[in-house]
Amino acid sequence: MAGHDDEHLLHNEIKLLGVLGWVEYRLPIFNWINNAVGTNYPTPKNVNYFWNFGSLAGIALVIQILTGIVLAAHYVPTADGAFASVERIMRDVNYGWLFRYAHANGASLFFAVVYIHLFRNLYYGSYKYPRELLWWLGLIMLILMITTAFMGYVLPWGQMSYWGATVITNLFGAMPIIGDELLLWLWGGFTVGEVLLRGFYSLHYLLAFVIAGLAIVHIWALHQHRSNNPLGIDIKGPQDILPFHPYFTVKDLFGFGIYLIVFALLVFYAPNMLGEPDNYIPADPLQTPAHIVPEWYLLPFYAILRAVPDKLGGVIALALALLVLFAVPWLDTSKVRSARFRPIYKQLFWIFLADVLILGWVGGSPPEGMFITIGQLATVYYFVHFLVLLPIVGKLESPTPLPDSIATAVLEENKRKKARKLPQVGVAPSASHGASSGGGH
């Protein structure tokens, strides 16, 4: 009996062709890939290009890790050598300028992609049951991204790096009881210096791989209940789905092409557009820059931090601004996911987006005059949106009727598009015929 089983297994193995077949029989990795992003992964047929940004975020992360590994090989994490090593990368290392500009601008595009991905989830309700844990994993990665980006911003050891590190790390000193000791331990002395720089360098390198590991878990959680869709309704049957490959891999490749064009334009034509000129000045503990600002993607949080006059209050507000996002699946009391069918929430979403943009504008402006008042009002609305408006609107709003299924909605949309085109096709000959007839008379 055992010999018969062995012959059967051998027969199955022979049917697999080549080296890939040999590997697949022993380690079915290609079948796993096919189930994850191939023909065996069912995807709602109506997902639009906003669903590209999840895969784009993964590509952006890979670019950051690869360019970061090259830069780490030439970087010197010392107070005396950090700035000079960055200049050496730019001037003496073969294609060092390319790797550095790709890494710096890649971080900006990484955040841009992730923020669009985040707001898409807020608009289409992708945080709702049963995807709450998927939402949480994404938020944890966002917090780690912010932490990693801040540490990376310190590494060039220019003026903005040094003073940015001084301002942000000083916030730990606001913690009751343990604040002073924690700050002393973090600095490794009585001021920002080499100990902090070395620590940030090691953590910046390490956290990139932690984010990559969490991204794998994030994808795992996504595949458990599959992707949401613009309608926010569940898959009812095979008529609602298409295989991920080739239909959506093609869309992802198109999005990746657009991403690379924008990436190349930044790297080759405007590499310093999103940076701070002060960071090309070596760190000087005796000369404070006139206006200390973080990178653009941290400006809304920086504005919230500055909106509260008290240092500890600002730290609490900043922490709550991130933590409140974890409660969104429960703060949103509506049973309908997509904002397409929620007329009031749709308006609130755009108001909230404008509020975040205002916070970014205020965060990049000097903390004086009207900017203080606008920042405080925008901060108040940020929390009111989540803690007050979201629960109330979910209870009081009357959503518009949902379609019966994804397939039904797709067919109806196609009919509407055809109906809009048909009159244009039919009217033209009639009009021209009437004109010619009139001319004949």
Active site residues: 223, 227, 251-252, 295
Burial class (CB in 10 A: 0-12, 13-18, 19+), 382: buried
* The two structure tokens encoding residue 415: 């009919």
How far CA 210 is from CA of 36, 61, 108, 145, 323, in Å, comes to 21, 11, 19, 10, 20
Q: How is residue 81 annotated by DSSP?
A: T
Task: Give Cα 214 distance to the centre of its chain.
Answer: 14
Supply angle C-alpha 255, 258, 259, rounded to 5.
85
Q: How is residue 165 annotated by DSSP?
A: H
Residue 132: Cβ within 10 Å count: 15
Q: Which residues pair with 118 in a beta bridge?
A: none
Do 12 and 213 touch, CB atoms closer than 8 A? no
Amino acid residing at 376: Q
Task: Give Cα 170 distance to the centre of its chain.
Answer: 28
